[in-house]
Structure 1
């Protein structure tokens, strides 16, 4: 059931992330407004994860928090069907994101605890999320060739409802024993140089994703790609992600987390720059999507590995929450806003992707400069 939950959760990402810009563009919003709305929505990821994770860690009811988050997500998302104004949509999407942030950190904690007790591999479970992303991305992309730009909203409602139902069949892993729960000061743990370096680098990398998340589908549309072709290209990136998840543990056993994340940052910078400079080339677009294996796949596996091994067990939810809240929330919102201001209806696509490339390169440099002395996780 964990596999199905991952499939539905990331399947929803496969609807919302690539096609929200298409939906908003269909409603007549400018690139500046799309970037601003993406930023507003993403800002909800700053407060939400820490709030939910604190409740989960202190109550010990990780599964209950996850299930409640799914219920409230469905309720808040349903209000989108009655919203027609910019601020109305921003409120509905923002509330939905606030509650949705309760899901992934708790799901990651439950999965890592289950994997540890069962002796299985996190990557083999997490790859089902990538499969879900592929299925929904391709399906919605094809549907957009035949139906209106409201398709992503209807698909999201169905997927979120199915996700809520799937969580009802999950079970809470056995509580970790006392020897594994070494008590300590949470703020002292997260102020450790290694964790600070990790958060700074992760945030810069998510800033770099702003242009991709906000405007990639619009960029391909402007270049003449159909909805089906766009869906297949996005799916290709996730196929590459699935492959890297299979081998992620072997790479983590062989190389340090810092080294892997530094390499991922460099490859991501190359990805964004090539996409902005030579996006009209099919080979470049395909190559850039294959690099998603490193930009997201290996980066995510290494990040979850680091949090699980660097923080004591009873801080895992809050550690995941800080990672998601600051990196994806603050970093993602900043990237969405800046790229929206640069984009100018696609006239400054090269400049926007170059901005993203610089941010990804800075992310890699943070590790390259500091990880040798201060990175101790492997």
Structure 2
């Protein structure tokens, strides 16, 4: 029985009364289902939106310019929604707002045929879509903070959602036609919106007011900034593969089914690593794990650069498990040591800006230039060099931290 007098309980804020209690089985199940549903939408946007816009008659250059909007908008959007989340100490409410915004944009996109309106609407779509991933990660981190559960045991459901969407929706669209991509996307967004309404909100330990002086000390710390530099270098390699894998497969003569299986293989390969890290990840230091992830990226992209048959990309995509799987889980865990709970959402936003938006822009510009000038084989070797540099940096940082 609680020692808090009944008369005082009514005066407690909602967050103090319930936001920090341990998650129930229902809370965890809904959060996992939300991750699954959100990644259904992510797979559709990554894998099938380009095919949909090609069906609508837009050129490859126009589609490429369209996808460059995402990283640009994401830089502002991640910070904007992250700051709002920290200021008002809520993640759930902003997730609902962003998903509703996406749904409205999808409804408008169906009847849009002019390029200017398409660019405008996709700008709004990315404004509402890109920050959901870091906010979902923040919600998971805050949910598991006082429990024995791991981030990987939740994030694995995102991998399942991505793989399901890439494979099942890919086969479905092949039967009914790529023109129904937006209809499927509205369905997955609606599912995410319903699940978001059922989520239990979690907040940091602050009163809701951002203390910019303290936040500046965190962001201005040499340890945190150096971590972001290393993440940026490694993410350039990762994003080059994300942005140009389909084009590389096309040059090798791959069919649509091979492209779909390549994405599915990478998503499914994450699952065993996430399960392993969810049980045993706490036994290993973060920086050595990040070094290993960088080395696997190096070997993976070096091998990809020598491929001449598109079918060989599929087994090489399975190395995604030991590269991105380790990288994602470990980088987030290490960042938890650098960012206080009250700045969790903003810290996640800055991390997302670096590894997704800034690295996405850099990899698009550098990778596109190398792809056009010297071909995809050279581009993948440059990506392997970036991964090797990041791995060496993680290695040196680890030994320096041991000495200190």
Check if 1:352 corresponds to 2:379. yes
Residues 133 and 238 in structure 1, CA contact (< 8 A), matched pair in contact too: yes
Q: TM-score, normalised by structure 2?
A: 0.82
Residues 76 and 96 in structure 1, CA contact (< 8 A), matched pair in contact too: yes
Task: Tell me how far 1:320 sits from its aligned partner.
Answer: 0.2
- Residue in structure 2 matched with residue 313 of structure 1 by the alignment: 341
C-alpha distance 41-101 of structure 1, shift in aligned 2 (>3 A): closer
Aligned mate of 1:122, from 151, 154, 161: 151
Check if 1:227 corresponds to 2:284. no
Gaps of 5+ in 2: 1-29
Check if 1:8 corresponds to 2:37. yes
SS in 1 for 2:337: helix
Alignment of 1:16-95 (within 5 A): 16-27=45-56, 32-95=61-124
d(CA) in 2 for partners of 1:330 and 1:174? Answer: 27
- Residue in structure 2 matched with residue 371 of structure 1 by the alignment: 398
Identify which range, 61-70 or 128-137, moves more after superposition.
Answer: 61-70
Task: Tell me how far 1:332 sits from its aligned partner.
Answer: 0.9
Residues 293 and 322 in structure 2, CA contact (< 8 A), matched pair in contact too: yes
Task: Tell me how far 1:328 sits from its aligned partner.
Answer: 0.5
Task: Tell me how far 1:148 sits from its aligned partner.
Answer: 4.3
d(CA) in 1 for partners of 2:174 and 2:250? Answer: 11
Gaps of 5+ in 1: none
Greater relative contact order: 1 or 2 (C-alpha under 8 angstroms, separation 6 or more)?
1
Identify which range, 311-320 or 76-85, moves more after superposition.
Answer: 76-85
Task: Tell me how far 1:291 sits from its aligned partner.
Answer: 1.1
d(CA) in 1 for partners of 2:384 and 2:66? Answer: 23
Q: Structure 1, residues 254-296: CA drift from partner, whole Å, max 9, x if none?
A: 32211111221221122223223214163x4233211111332
Aligned mate of 1:338, from 343, 361, 366: 366
d(CA) in 1 for partners of 2:238 and 2:51? Answer: 17
Alignment of 1:219-368 (within 5 A): 219-250=248-279, 252-280=281-309, 282=311, 284-344=312-372, 348-368=375-395
- Residue in structure 1 matched with residue 241 of structure 2 by the alignment: 212
Residues 249 and 310 in structure 2, CA contact (< 8 A), matched pair in contact too: no
SS in 2 for 1:310: coil
Count matched residues.
372
Task: Tell me how far 1:60 sits from its aligned partner.
Answer: 0.9
Q: TM-score, normalised by structure 1?
A: 0.88
Task: Tell me how far 1:144 sits from its aligned partner.
Answer: 4.8
Task: Tell me how far 1:165 sits from its aligned partner.
Answer: 1.6
- Residue in structure 2 matched with residue 99 of structure 1 by the alignment: 128
C-alpha distance 39-3 of structure 1, shift in aligned 2 (>3 A): same
C-alpha distance 141-257 of structure 1, shift in aligned 2 (>3 A): same
d(CA) in 2 for partners of 1:36 and 1:200? Answer: 27
- Residue in structure 1 matched with residue 202 of structure 2 by the alignment: 173
d(CA) in 2 for partners of 1:90 and 1:264? Answer: 36
C-alpha distance 263-26 of structure 1, shift in aligned 2 (>3 A): farther
Alignment of 1:116-195 (within 5 A): 116-173=145-202, 176=205, 185-195=214-224
RMSD: 2.8
d(CA) in 2 for partners of 1:144 and 1:368? Answer: 45
Task: Tell me how far 1:366 sits from its aligned partner.
Answer: 2.6
Q: Structure 1, residues 129-185: CA drift from partner, whole Å, max 9, x if none?
A: 11000100002332454454445433322212211121011111376489xx99971
Task: Tell me how far 1:33 sits from its aligned partner.
Answer: 4.4
Q: Structure 1, residues 7-30: CA drift from partner, whole Å, max 9, x if none?
A: 011122222223334344445555
Identify which range, 34-43 or 285-294, moves more after superposition.
Answer: 34-43
Identify which range, 231-240 or 181-190, moves more after superposition.
Answer: 181-190
